[in-house]
Amino acid sequence: DGGITQSPKYLFRKEGQNVTLSCEQNLNHDAMYWYRQDPGQGLRLIYYSQIVNDFQKGDIAEGYSVSREKKESFPLTVTSAQKNPTAFYLCASSISANSYEQYFGPGTRLTVT
């Protein structure tokens, strides 16, 4: 089955710890994206990558880091510098950066206490 996988589904961490969220796709899509969603709000873009070994900051990149070493993988690290890390994190991909049709993985719900 083709699709986007995110793991784990739920993640719990103590404040001050870095945590890495996994995102893998086997759709052969060039572009990948990370969003966060807070209760009752829309999605906000954290980082995006148009092609392997390249990525750009989105609207709320502070406290986050990413890498894109392989086409199918785009992990997101939530660092201890992120002030309010508890949120629903969604990874998406599109065929190419000039295709705006984005498809989402199932998401990871991160809780930091």
Cβ partners under 8 Å of residue 65, min gap 6: 76, 77, 79
Measured CA to CA, the distance from residue 45 to residue 35 in angstroms comes to 4
The helix or strand, by DSSP H or E, that contains position 66, with its residue range, turns out to be: strand 64-66
User: Which position among 24, 25, 107, 112 is part of the footprint of other proteins (CB under 8 A)?
Assistant: 107
We find the least distance from the C-beta atom of residue 41 to other proteins, in angstroms, to be 5
Longest dimension (CA), the chain: 39
Q: Which is nearer to other proteins, 18 or 99 (CB)?
A: 99
We find the least distance from the C-beta atom of residue 80 to other proteins, in angstroms, to be 26
Q: Which is nearer to other proteins, 51 or 81 (CB)?
A: 51
Q: What residues from 20 to 79 belong to the interface with other proteins (CB under 8 A)?
A: 31, 33, 35, 40-45, 48, 50, 58
Report in angstroms the alpha-carbon separations of 68 from 12, 23, 39, 53. Answer: 24, 11, 28, 5
Measured CA to CA, the distance from residue 25 to residue 23 in angstroms comes to 7
Q: What residues from 79 to 98 belong to the interface with other proteins (CB under 8 A)?
A: 90, 94, 96-98
Report the interface residues with other proteins, using CB under 8 A.
31, 33, 35, 40-45, 48, 50, 58, 90, 94, 96-107
